[in-house]
Chain A
Amino acid sequence: MTAYIVRRLLSTVVVMAVVAFVVFSLLYLTPGDPAAVIAGDIATDEDIRRIHAQLGLDDPFLFRFGRWIWALLHGDLGTSIFTNLPVTQLIGQRIEPTVSLTLCTLLVAIIVAVPIGVVAAAKAGSWIDRLVMAFSVLGFSVPVFVIAYALILTLSVQFDLLPVQGYRNLNDGVWEWLRHLILPSIALGTVYVALIARMTRASMLEVLAQDYIRTAEAKGLAPDSILIGHALKNAAIPVVTTIGVGVALLISGAIVTETVFALPGIGRLTVDAILRRDYPIIQGVILIFSAVYVLVNLAVDLSYVLFDPRVRY
């Protein structure tokens, strides 16, 4: 098993190196001259050349890549072109809303989706099953911002139940904080719930057709204990994998959700950076989100050992 963990860690390092290379190449290929942008409109060619030398923009590609990686490994993601602040600091300031949003969504989605999928599988072919499947197809098809605006227009604008947009820090009180996260989480979580529910159902159906389930039924175990103790436990691996892979949906969706609900998180920071072409920020955000995604999936892979004693690699 140790060999498996080591191999898995090594492949994670390789993947992250590829991500870093891709992200750096993107910056390298960026058209336009950051030096000219920094220097401003009234700069002379001499000024631009000086800034070029200062930033080391004239060095060869691999040299710059090496320097960038070295800085990266020391926790330095570069400096924002516009605000002149370190990217790590800018991301740090914006991290709370994003983490609040994605974690709330993740937890609620799993709590909702897994039981839905289990019930749908247990009652396969019934109207409940059909309803779950219909919801799942809809959830895949209606984009997050359409759900978001439908919720805002009905619950906020029409009935004034929840705030239209904005964010409150956890320090301002748990209820205020939560109230501002309810609609964003529903909007963001729908596609995730659809994905997990669908995978839970499919995986459960697979397991419920196994011989040991029939044996459990034959020896008179309660249906619920078969469903949870025997079936769900054995159906867990594909579900957990999907939860990990689906985090990509949460990350992409968070950018849109934060824009719709004006949450001052990393997504909002990214969108502002795109409008201002502030590449170091875009780069930093992509790196951090990708790292989170890779690490989540690493954790998922390693967690298989907990779910299935047969997995010993």
Chain B
Amino acid sequence: MSSTLAASVPVAKSVSPTWKRFRDAFRRHPTAIVGAVILLLVIGAAVLAPWLGTVDPEAVSPIKRLRPPSEMYWFGTDMLGRDVYSRVVYGSRVSLTVGLSVALLSTLIGLAIGMVTGYVRALDAPVMRVMDGLMSIPSVLLAIALMALTKASVGNVIAAITIAEMPRVVRLVRSLVLTLREQPYVEAAIASGTSLPRILARHLLPNLVAPLLVQGTYVCGSAMITEAILSFIGAGTPPNIPSWGNIMAEARSLIQIAGYLILYPGVFLSLTVLAVNLLGDGMRDALDPRLARRM
């Protein structure tokens, strides 16, 4: 697929050059492996939440409110007596769902729009002006505005953040397509009468996979932060679902008496985003050898 980048390097048929570059980059970047491991742990925690010594994250017991961290309540209890450890573990589900869904959706939608606008000249100007307009609204603000339109739900959060993130993907895909369509092999395909859908799918798409993978990880990290911000200011995940942003919002008024409550979800959120970003940096260096040499 990446014949243009690695044409001069003879490689065994069985290992694709992209995978070889990935392997080398991960070897050069132990931090990317750290990121991958942390991310796997968080995904594991999200999937296995009910079996990790958690109780019902919604179980209210006012009599046990604001207990400090102890053997019984690892992270203490909040003002309604809910177990904060359980809430934080379950909260990973929301962050991961939102992060991964937004990354996937905005990549797919951005890919579709970007490929068509990059290839069909007449569409280029109008679509890109709309994207410029959307990109001129800071993405958190746009997501806030969209959330204000609908009622709070995880699905709506995903939709709002996807719309806010998608224009950046469109711009990336479009610029790549504009370069790729001038390549001799695309011209050859056109000259030999290949149909447009086939050119897009067979000649352009394979070259877009790698950059989109990198972009996707950054979108994922940024979406998780945006979800937490939305929930934190009361415009995101509904309050009855334990998300890291919600837990922090609830702990806000207790900052003077139980400051630790706000730190647990904060640390978990930061670690998860860090893991995703480290992974993204590793992949970027793997796919951009020019940059990689210097890092």
Instruction: State in angstroms the CA–CA spacing of A157 and B137 once bound together.
Output: 36
Contact B141 A153 (CB under 8 A): no
Most buried by A among B148, B221, B278: B148
Binds A, one of B41-49, B72-80, B104-112, B254-262: B254-262
Binds B, one of A58-66, A92-100, A136-144, A228-236: A136-144
Binds B, one of A19-27, A110-118, A171-179: A19-27
B11 on the A face (CB < 8 A): no
Which residues on B sit within 8 Å (CB–CB) of A309? none
B235 on the A face (CB < 8 A): yes
A164 to chain B, nearest CB (A): 7
B246 on the A face (CB < 8 A): no
Known contacts A31-B149, A279-B148, A251 near B129 by CB under 8 Å:
no
Contact A146 B266 (CB under 8 A): yes
Contact B266 A256 (CB under 8 A): no
Choice from B129, B252, B263 contacting A15 with Cβ under 8 Å? B129
A213 on the B face (CB < 8 A): no
Contact A146 B269 (CB under 8 A): yes
Number of interface residues of A (CB under 8 A): 55
Which residues on B sit within 8 Å (CB–CB) of A289? 137-138, 141
Which residues on A sit within 8 Å (CB–CB) of B39? none
Contact A290 B137 (CB under 8 A): yes
B158 on the A face (CB < 8 A): no
Instruction: State in angstroms the CA–CA spacing of A133 and B281 once bound together.
Output: 11
B162 on the A face (CB < 8 A): no
A14 on the B face (CB < 8 A): yes
Q: Closest residue to A18 on the B side, CB-wise? A: B133
Contact B141 A15 (CB under 8 A): no
Instruction: State in angstroms the CA–CA spacing of A14 and B129 once bound together.
Output: 7
Contact B140 A142 (CB under 8 A): no
B130 on the A face (CB < 8 A): yes
User: Which residues A265-284 have CB closer than 8 A to chain B?
Assistant: 270-271, 274-275, 277, 279, 282-283
Which residues on A sit within 8 Å (CB–CB) of B221? 140-141
B90 on the A face (CB < 8 A): no
A145 on the B face (CB < 8 A): yes
A258 to chain B, nearest CB (A): 10
Contact B263 A150 (CB under 8 A): yes
Contact A150 B266 (CB under 8 A): yes
A301 to chain B, nearest CB (A): 13
Contact B136 A143 (CB under 8 A): no
Which residues on B sit within 8 Å (CB–CB) of A274? 144, 147-148, 233-235
A91 to chain B, nearest CB (A): 14
- Give the A-binding residues of B (Cβ under 8 A): 31, 129-130, 132-134, 136-142, 144-150, 221, 225, 228-229, 232-235, 248, 252, 255-256, 259, 262-263, 266-267, 269-270, 273-274, 277-278, 281, 291, 294-295
- Nearest 7 CB-CB pairs, A to B? A18-B133, A252-B140, A141-B274, A146-B266, A248-B138, A142-B270, A141-B273
A-B CB contact pairs (8 Å), 20 listed = A16-B133, A18-B132, A19-B136, A19-B137, A23-B145, A137-B278, A138-B274, A143-B228, A143-B266, A149-B263, A150-B266, A152-B259, A153-B263, A157-B256, A205-B294, A251-B141, A252-B138, A255-B144, A259-B232, A289-B141
- Give the B-binding residues of A (Cβ under 8 A): 11, 14-19, 21-23, 26, 29-31, 124, 133, 137-138, 140-146, 149-150, 152-153, 157, 164, 202, 205, 248-249, 251-252, 255-256, 259-260, 270-271, 274-275, 277, 279, 282-283, 285-286, 289-290, 293-294
